[in-house]
């Protein structure tokens, strides 16, 4: 009898994605697995139970998890779900382990072999498995759509007999996967787009998309990236110059989208209250990092906040889930591609090679222990969540900018020094 893959319905109220698609169910069956999908698991992604059965899957209940050799999920399993898994089950999901040591320890105690997809190394072999890229790409797109929905004007320039509607000005802060897609989407909608990042290498990418790159491009900036693609900490002099430039620029923008995330840390603060106060009424800021503390001062997770000066700060949670029908298809392919590497083609059974570089990079727990080096002491020594990195690397605080001070209700706190190895945006 073949081994079983179980696809549960996600329990989170804010999680409409599912870890399989009809295409991946068909391909899993082709690998020799029996595939059981919990009833209604795909409804939030516009995938019906009939779609899964037509692809060769079987519709079951949450209790079928106890039969599974492999569980494919979107989010980390809850304590209740862990009780339904048999020891040794391979569970593959976005585990979000940083700051959740108790949850990591619980997975070890349950005896499951847990894989954290967000730890997938960014190497050529693993590009098709890169969930951070697949989901961030959609988040960047949706951020622009959300901004356009809140902005009460047209984005493109329109010349009519009654007059001309000027193009909206959009500023993208952080040029990783999400930022690049945000630039491309805003450009398609007709906005005038600028973008900033501390890594000089992204300037050409920004310009190739038809946007303008904003930075103080002195000699220090040209050496601001390490060989590994990390951002170096900039001098206080550079920070001050960049802060002034950015603050003056934000005051003229209609839409600002922030995308900066640093693995294992709260999101860096990029936009201060003074910057928000300098913007025009009706302007919109979309904070894609709100779930990790936010890039924008005043952003509230799960809400759209309107400030006293009429600026909307958008803090939607799970932005990829806002385009779940697309996000699930990409995520399911990421999972399938990874699982396929752990299947013995001769026996058609799961055969985890623990010395494989993909396995070593992503395996969190195994045989009752926390095995990932970053979390190996989670059970006995809970990790303390570090303080948020202030905007001294990506963009410094704008407290020194007189133009901003005039419109600010109060003087913002001085920015603190950032980590010397803050990673570029996802």
Per-residue pLDDT of the chain (426 residues; tens, 9 = 90+): 479 999 999 999 899 999 999 999 999 999 999 999 999 999 999 999 999 999 999 999 999 999 999 999 999 999 999 999 999 999 999 999 998 999 999 999 999 999 999 999 989 999 999 999 999 999 999 999 999 999 999 999 999 999 999 999 999 999 999 999 999 999 999 999 999 987 888 999 999 999 999 987 877 777 666 554 555 556 778 777 877 888 999 999 999 999 988 777 788 888 999 999 999 999 999 999 999 999 999 999 999 999 999 999 999 999 999 999 999 999 999 999 999 999 998 999 999 999 999 999 999 999 999 999 988 765 555 545 444 445 444 443 333 343 444 444 444 444 433 333 334 444
Distance of CA 367 to the CA centre of its chain: 30
pLDDT at 232: 57
Own/partner contacts of 352-358, CB < 8 Å, gap of 24 or more, are 352/90, 352/113, 357/121, 357/123, 358/120, 358/121, 358/125, 358/126, 358/129
Q: Cα dist. 134→91, 128, 131, 259 in Å?
A: 20, 9, 5, 15
Alpha helices in 363-419 (DSSP H): 402-405
Any idea where the domains of the chain sit in the sequence?
Answer: 4-130+324-370, 137-321+387-405
| Structure-token pair, residue 389 | 């990195």
pLDDT at 377: 67
Judge whether 8 and 65 are in contact, CB under 8 Å.
Answer: yes
CATH number corresponding to 137-321+387-405: 3.40.50.720
Give the separation between CA 424 and CA 199, rounded to whole angstroms: 8
pLDDT at 315: 98
> Catalytic amino acids?
122, 127, 130, 133, 230
pLDDT at 160: 93
Output the CA torsion sign for 279, 285, 289, 290: positive
Distance of CA 258 to the CA centre of its chain: 12
Judge whether 339 and 115 are in contact, CB under 8 Å.
Answer: no
User: Which run of H or of E encompasses 370?
Assistant: strand 369-370
pLDDT at 234: 64
Question: Do 4-130+324-370 and 137-321+387-405 fold alike per CATH?
Answer: yes
User: Which run of H or of E encompasses 138?
Assistant: helix 131-150
pTM (two decimals): 0.85
Judge whether 174 and 158 are in contact, CB under 8 Å.
Answer: no
Class for the domain spanning 4-130+324-370: alpha beta
Can you tell me whether residue 142 is helix, strand or coil?
helix
Query: How many CB atoms sit inside 10 A of residue 380's CB?
Result: 9
pLDDT at 112: 98
Give the separation between CA 312 and CA 284, rounded to whole angstroms: 5
């Amino acid at each position: 009898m073949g081994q079983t893959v179980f696809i549960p319905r996600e329990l989170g109220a804010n999680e409409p994605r599912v870890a399989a698609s009809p295409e991946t169910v068909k391909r899993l069956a082709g690998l020799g697995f029996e595939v059981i999908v919990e009833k209604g698991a795909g409804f939030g992604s516009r995938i019906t139970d009939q779609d899964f059965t037509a692809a060769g899957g079987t519709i079951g209940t949450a209790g079928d998890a106890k039969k599974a050799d492999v569980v494919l999920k979107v989010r980390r399993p809850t304590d209740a779900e862990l009780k339904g898994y048999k020891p040794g089950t391979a569970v593959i999901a976005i585990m979000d382990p940083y700051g959740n040591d108790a949850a990591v320890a619980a997975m070890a105690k349950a005896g499951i072999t847990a894989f954290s997809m967000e730890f997938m190394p960014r190497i050529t072999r693993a590009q098709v498995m890169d969930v951070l890229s697949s989901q961030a790409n959609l988040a960047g797109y949706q951020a622009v759509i959300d901004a356009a929905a809140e902005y009460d004007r047209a984005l493109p320039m329109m010349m009519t007999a009654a007059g001309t509607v000027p193009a909206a000005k959009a500023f993208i802060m952080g040029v990783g996967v999400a930022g690049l897609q945000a630039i491309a989407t805003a450009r398609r909608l007709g906005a005038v787009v600028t973008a900033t990042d501390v890594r000089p290498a992204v300037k050409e990418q920004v310009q190739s998309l038809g946007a303008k790159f904003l930075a103080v491009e002195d000699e220090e900036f040209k050496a601001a990236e390490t060989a590994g693609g990390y951002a170096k900490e900039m001098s206080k002099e550079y920070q001050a110059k960049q802060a002034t430039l950015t603050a003056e620029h934000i005051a003229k923008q209609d839409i600002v989208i922030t995308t900066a995330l640093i693995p294992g840390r709260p999101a860096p603060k990029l936009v201060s209250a003074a910057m928000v106060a300098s913007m025009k009424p009706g302007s919109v800021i979309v904070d894609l990092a709100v779930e990790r503390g936010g890039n924008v001062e005043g952003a509230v997770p799960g809400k759209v906040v309107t400030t006293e000066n009429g600026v909307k700060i958008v803090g939607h949670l799970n932005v990829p889930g806002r385009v779940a029908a697309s996000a699930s298809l990409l995520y399911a392919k990421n999972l399938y591609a990874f699982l396929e590497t752990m299947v013995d083609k001769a026996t058609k059974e799961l055969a985890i090679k623990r010395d494989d570089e993909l396995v070593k990079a992503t395996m969190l727990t195994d045989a009752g222990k926390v095995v990932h080096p970053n979390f190996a002491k989670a059970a006995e020594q809970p990790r303390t969540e570090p303080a948020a990195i202030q905007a001294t690397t990506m963009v410094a605080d704008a407290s020194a900018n007189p133009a901003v001070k005039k419109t600010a209700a109060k003087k913002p706190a001085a920015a603190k020094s950032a980590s010397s190895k803050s990673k570029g945006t996802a």
